[in-house]
Amino acid sequence: MNEQTLSLRLERVAAHVPQGARLADIGSDHGYLPVALALRGVIAAGVAGEVAQTPYESALRNVRRNGLQAHITVRLADGLEALEPEDCITAISLCGMGGETMCEILTRGKARLNGRERMILQPNGGEHELRTWLMHNGYRIVSEELLRENRFDYEIIVAEPDAASVYSPEELYFGPVLMREKSPAFIAKWQRVLRQQLQTIANFERAQGAVPLEKQQRFARQVGWINQVLA
């Protein structure tokens, strides 16, 4: 992967960035996403935020190598501290981190948001927590995608500030858009998860009461939801 050829995962994230956006990519690593979008003429401006020195330097190098210093600002910063009011950011991408980490970044940095940003989020796990954060913080999930690459399932959640949206526990678990659309990738993922969950429940039974009841009930509830959504 490089700034010319993004992974399928980042390519699908890129597809949700509106033409002319001013994008902040937080946790940008090499900066491939904003650099690719600037080279394609999709974004008007970009900020690549990185908390770690080595990826920060890598993003700086990639921006310079592509002559994009006037378009993309690379900042060594923790989470949304990379945002400055004069950036007038209209879209924020957070990709390739755990959903819980993303919730922490968004909670700590909330005061830096201008209330107009589209969020394009690709968590590695913790999707349920992330959707719950969005629901409790005045976002509506406007689009979702599920894709499989290198034997991993990835979910992309796109949200915009809106009047409070309320999602059911099942919608928070599966994704309100994903469970409505039921794509082949969605069906295949949840068939796999169902097999794993049933195996785990069988292991609980063999453990003869060593597993807390609350945990057993949670797994049983989720199996019920999965059976329903696949029916």
Ligand X SMILES: C[S@@+](CC[C@H](N)C(=O)[O-])C[C@H]1O[C@@H](n2cnc3c(N)ncnc32)[C@H](O)[C@@H]1O
Cβ atoms of residues 87 and 24 within 8 Å: yes
Neighbours of 160 (CB within 10 A): 16
Shortest distance, CB of residue 36 to ligand X, whole angstroms? 11
Q: Which stretch binds ligand X (CB under 6 A): 40-48, 92-100, 137-145, 211-219?
A: 92-100
Q: Report the residue from 60, 97, 102, 178 that binds ligand X according to the rule CB under 6 A.
A: 97
Instruction: Please list the residues that pair with 45 across neighbouring strands.
Output: 22
Cβ atoms of residues 88 and 12 within 8 Å: no
Q: What angle do CA 40, 44, 47 make, to 5 degrees?
A: 100
29 binds ligand X (CB under 6 A): yes
Query: Restricting to residues 113-152, which ones interact with ligand X according to CB under 6 A?
Result: none
Which residues, at least 6 apart from 111, have a Cβ–Cβ distance to it below 8 Å? none
49 binds ligand X (CB under 6 A): yes
Shortest distance, CB of residue 219 to ligand X, whole angstroms? 29
26 binds ligand X (CB under 6 A): yes
Identify which of residues 9 and 222 has a Cβ nearer to ligand X in the complex: 9
52 binds ligand X (CB under 6 A): yes
Identify which of residues 113 and 223 has a Cβ nearer to ligand X in the complex: 113
Give the span between the Cα atoms of 189 and 223, in whole angstroms. Answer: 13
Report, in this order, helix, strand and coil percent for the chain, each rounded to 5.
Answer: 50, 25, 30
55 binds ligand X (CB under 6 A): yes
Q: Which stretch binds ligand X (CB under 6 A): 49-57, 83-91, 132-140, 159-167?
A: 49-57
* Enclosing H/E stretch for 80: none
Which residues, at least 6 apart from 15, have a Cβ–Cβ distance to it below 8 Å? none
Q: Report the residue from 78, 153, 170, 181 that binds ligand X according to the rule CB under 6 A.
A: 78
Name residue, tokens 């994009």.
Answer: 68
27 binds ligand X (CB under 6 A): yes
Q: Which stretch binds ligand X (CB under 6 A): 44-52, 138-146, 167-175, 208-216?
A: 44-52
Q: Which residues bind ligand X (CB under 6 A)?
A: 10, 26-29, 49-52, 55, 78-79, 95-97, 105
